[in-house]
Amino acid sequence: MREIVAREGWMLFLRVVAFHLFTLEGLDRPVHADTMLFPLGLTLFVSVVSQTRLLESVGFQVLRTNRGAV
């Protein structure tokens, strides 16, 4: 890499870095889209569950049904 920068200059290096950081095609090579869909889906699931208070409702229903004995 040092030889290429010394021979070609920094602009080639900056173009390569910009391609891999700022384009979807460049990002898809090191980090595949399907790998990123899992954390995205997990984040969406957690946010929906926390906003609807689903776990809180289920927890209180279990406590009421069992009279506090869980």
Indicate the average pLDDT of the chain. Answer: 86
Q: Which two tokens stand for residue 6?
A: 């010394």
DSSP letter at 31 equals S
And the tokens for 24?
A: 């979807």
Domain count, the chain: 2
Confidence label for 61 from pLDDT (cuts 50, 70 and 90): very high
In total, the chain counts a number of residues equal to 70
- 20 and 50 fall within a common domain: no
Q: Are residues 42 and 59 in the same domain?
A: yes
**Distance (Å, whole) CA 28 – CA 34:** 9
Domain that holds residue 20: 1-31
Give dist(CA 65, CA 63) in Å, integer. 6
Pair (25, 36) in one structural domain: no
CB 21 within 8 A of CB 27: yes
What pLDDT does 10 receive? 87
Given a cut of 80, whether residue 33 has pLDDT beyond it is: no
Task: Please tell me whether residues 26 and 58 are part of one structural domain.
Answer: no
